[in-house]
Structure 1
Amino acid sequence: MKSKKRILIAPLNWGLGHATRCVPIINALIKHHFEPVIASDGAALVLLKKEFPNCQSIELPSYHITYPKKGKHFKLKLLQDSPKLMKAIIAEKRETAAIIEKYKIDGIISDNRLGIHHKSLPCVFITHQLQVLSGTTTWLSTNLHQKVIKRFEECWVPDNLGDPNLSGKLGHFPLYEIPIKYIGPLSRLKKEHLPIAYDILVLISGPEPQRSILETKLLDVFKHYNGNILFIRGLIEKEQHISISGQLTIYNFMTTEEINTAINESKIIVTRSGYTTLMDLTKLNKKVFFIPTPGQFEQEYLAKRLTSLGYAPSCSQDEFSLEKLNETSKYKGLQTMDYDVNYKKLFSLFKGK
């Protein structure tokens, strides 16, 4: 007979952000005497298995999301991929029903996995996008996303309700049918006052081929840089690989503890403007230069917003250069937002009436 309530927690495998922002929630579930059951696929699942080797983990059907080589084709590529996406969601729904029965699940937390839901259990959807930007079709993408969210009991938005906040119009958009809970920025990292060891830290993740395209460009740009550079490729593989060439140190991936130290020891971060990255670097109060993924409206909006607010410079992938990096000194850097989540109250949904 099981003594703890089992909560299925399932992040989307699209880059590493959805998985890493679930780390503090999984830790909180354990601390509050729940038993997390982790479900995902690909690199997201590999990462969480490394972080929580003692938790039950399950492989879900993959969405097989990839980016086009040219950002302007992003929307068309998503449209072309929609049949296989729908197929994966249907398979995900079947798998969820089987997991609930096999593992005696008491509640569900889905981070942007559209088919992880069951009408017989309390279900939560985590997203920072109550409004989904897609250019001229924003009204449609938002409407479709909100239809999914409304199937859940609650929606948790990892941001502040008022100002200052990180998501802007993405996470502050009307949705009246279900409770919206702003739970503050989520991060697995913590601020430490360490001596600076690296002038530049390059952090890359995200779906292919754009991850590799940016990696190739930045390796070429920084071979001319006179300073210590740490380059984390964002490839979650079975074994960690480290290579050193002059002042450039390259890792395929780092554990949470290692990446926490690396960011705290770095002067400037060069990275994508993914939302989880924003939350992490805000918590660590870092100077950063953003290069949004080409064609991804969300990242482009977030980068432009933070640039316009005076926090961090940004530019397109094609425009990035060493000269652009000098702009970082003109910006104030990301500012820490202290927010204590009341997890006991948040998890009361799973306690039952």
Structure 2
Amino acid sequence: MSHPKRILVAPLNWGLGHATRCIPVIDALENHGYEPIIASDGSALAFLKKEFPHLTALELPAYHIEYTKKGMFFKLKIFRLLPRMLKAVREEKRAVRQIIKDHNIAGIISDNRLGARSKSIPCAFITHQLNVLTGTTTFITTPLHQRFIKKYNECWVPDIEHAPNLSGKLGHAYESFLPLKYIGPLSRLYKKPVEKKYDLMVILSGTEPQRTELEEKLKPELLKFKGKILFVRGIIEQEEHITHDGNITYYNFMNSAALEQAFNESEMVLCRSGYSTIMDLAQMGKKAFFIPTPGRYEQEYLAKKLKKSGLVPYATQNDFKISDLKKVNQYKGLKNIAGDMKWKDLFCLFERK
């Protein structure tokens, strides 16, 4: 009896978005007779270990991506960290070569990990950023990113190819030299008919120090809110902790099943405009309010795009006031858009001779 093919699934550790959107990919691999092996670092790895305790989980070199307290300096810091990040990519390539050998890997699915690839086996790259927006330096960052993408057999974009779509110009390149497949939005959540329990769900994610900055800003504002609030802080720890402060229930983190229930029980959501969160909101058909991470051009772009489309309002981190949430009802909210790509067709990549 032959063993199932082992596929390495390697999401970037930058917030939890890359890890969360790999959950449906890992589930689909198992459902189609493959054995997924997880590889990442930091919070992303800790999170996926909790979601899939039965799977082999391996540590990859960290990219050491850090935010700045001031959003305007973020781009400067990223460019300064570039040599360190490229060194991590080289270390990652070496680590992946060893993992392929030690674990008999038959294919790789990398979510934005630039070194998780090999010429000896089929490799797919998941990204919603074919165009990497960095303001005046987009002309450098986009070709650089596309150069890495071209080294993979296929690039899987978690969106639909035609308008109306979720990622806009981020996920739609004008040049067709990239091996693209639009696989439809990825979400681990499902809509269910349940009774409303919370008037507002706040969900934080992303890298420090901006996660803490927003939490500190929101706490006093939320005390002025009339209604029940569920606040998911987005801190992955060994144990789940629940605390109460007036009308607010705090969780340090939630697993996917609990988060799905919470989404279904909540009237509206206050969160970052990260793409993975947007895919979750669309899947759940939720009304929301966005506070983009300062200095994250793609989050600012997505917030502006969805506001202009009349779907979701937003405010900057500095300007947000609790009264802004009243604007939510003037917007349509996000709706589910389904792709037509089948997992079976995607996984054909790993059956190539």
TM bin, normalised by shorter chain, reads: over 0.9
Structure 1 residue 341, shift from structure 2 partner: 3.8
Q: How does 1:263-302 map to 2 (within 5 A)?
A: 263-302=263-302
Given the alignment of the two structures, is residue 321 of structure 1 paired with residue 327 of structure 2, yes or no?
no
Q: How does 1:77-156 map to 2 (within 5 A)?
A: 77-156=77-156
Amino acid across the alignment from 2:88: A
Query: What is the aligned partner in structure 1 of residue 210 from structure 2?
Result: 210
**C-alpha contact (below 8 Å) 2:182/2:341 kept by paired residues:** no
Per-residue CA deviation, residues 238-283 of structure 1 (Å, 9 max, x unaligned), is 1101001221100000010000010111011000000000000000
**C-alpha contact (below 8 Å) 1:127/1:156 kept by paired residues:** yes
Cα separation, 2, equivalents of 1:291 and 1:111: 24
Query: What is the aligned partner in structure 1 of residue 47 from structure 2?
Result: 47
Query: What is the aligned partner in structure 2 of residue 350 from structure 1?
Result: 350
Cα separation, 2, equivalents of 1:99 and 1:2: 20
SS in 1 for 2:168: coil
Query: What is the aligned partner in structure 2 of residue 309 from structure 1?
Result: 309
Amino acid across the alignment from 1:172: H
Amino acid across the alignment from 2:129: Q
Query: What is the aligned partner in structure 1 of residue 14 from structure 2?
Result: 14
Amino acid across the alignment from 2:80: Q
**TM-score relative to the length of structure 1:** 0.98
**C-alpha contact (below 8 Å) 2:205/2:233 kept by paired residues:** yes
Query: What is the aligned partner in structure 1 of residue 228 from structure 2?
Result: 228
Cα separation, 2, equivalents of 1:163 and 1:351: 32
Amino acid across the alignment from 1:249: T
SS in 1 for 2:58: strand
Larger displacement relative to structure 2 (147-156 or 223-232): 223-232
Amino acid across the alignment from 1:248: I
SS in 2 for 1:106: strand
SS in 2 for 1:169: helix
Structure 1 residue 287, shift from structure 2 partner: 0.6
Structure 1 residue 181, shift from structure 2 partner: 0.3
**C-alpha contact (below 8 Å) 1:4/1:34 kept by paired residues:** yes
**C-alpha contact (below 8 Å) 2:292/2:303 kept by paired residues:** yes
**TM-score relative to the length of structure 2:** 0.98
Cα separation, 2, equivalents of 1:6 and 1:34: 6
Q: How does 1:240-251 map to 2 (within 5 A)?
A: 240-251=240-251
Structure 1 residue 322, shift from structure 2 partner: 1.3
Structure 1 residue 2, shift from structure 2 partner: 5.4
Per-residue CA deviation, residues 312-350 of structure 1 (Å, 9 max, x unaligned), is 100100111011111101001111113354111110010
Amino acid across the alignment from 1:203: I
Larger displacement relative to structure 2 (78-87 or 96-105): 78-87
Structure 1 residue 178, shift from structure 2 partner: 3.7
**Unaligned segments of structure 2, at least 5 residues:** none
Query: What is the aligned partner in structure 1 of residue 176 from structure 2?
Result: 176
Query: What is the aligned partner in structure 1 of residue 257 from structure 2?
Result: 257
SS in 2 for 1:257: helix
SS in 2 for 1:82: helix
Per-residue CA deviation, residues 58-103 of structure 1 (Å, 9 max, x unaligned), is 0111111110000100110101111221121111011000000000
Larger displacement relative to structure 2 (161-170 or 172-181): 172-181
Amino acid across the alignment from 1:96: V
Structure 1 residue 137, shift from structure 2 partner: 1.0
Structure 1 residue 196, shift from structure 2 partner: 1.0
Structure 1 residue 177, shift from structure 2 partner: 2.9
Cα separation, 2, equivalents of 1:45 and 1:233: 18
Query: What is the aligned partner in structure 1 of residue 238 from structure 2?
Result: 238
**C-alpha contact (below 8 Å) 2:109/2:123 kept by paired residues:** yes
**C-alpha contact (below 8 Å) 1:5/1:35 kept by paired residues:** yes
Amino acid across the alignment from 1:152: Y
Cα separation, 1, equivalents of 2:8 and 2:272: 29
**C-alpha contact (below 8 Å) 1:130/1:175 kept by paired residues:** no
SS in 2 for 1:10: strand
Cα separation, 2, equivalents of 1:140 and 1:229: 42
Given the alignment of the two structures, is residue 31 of structure 1 paired with residue 31 of structure 2, yes or no?
yes
Larger displacement relative to structure 2 (176-185 or 301-310): 176-185
**Unaligned segments of structure 1, at least 5 residues:** none
Compute the RMSD of aligned alpha carbons: 1.0
**C-alpha contact (below 8 Å) 1:159/1:171 kept by paired residues:** yes
Inter-CA distance 80–40: structure 2 relative to 1 (3 Å threshold): same
Per-residue CA deviation, residues 162-193 of structure 1 (Å, 9 max, x unaligned), is 12100000111134334200000000000011
**C-alpha contact (below 8 Å) 1:109/1:125 kept by paired residues:** yes
**C-alpha contact (below 8 Å) 2:223/2:247 kept by paired residues:** no
Per-residue CA deviation, residues 42-68 of structure 1 (Å, 9 max, x unaligned), is 110111111111111101111111100
Amino acid across the alignment from 2:6: R
Cα separation, 2, equivalents of 1:115 and 1:335: 35
SS in 1 for 2:260: helix
Cα separation, 1, equivalents of 2:325 and 2:13: 30
Amino acid across the alignment from 1:46: A
Cα separation, 2, equivalents of 1:84 and 1:66: 12
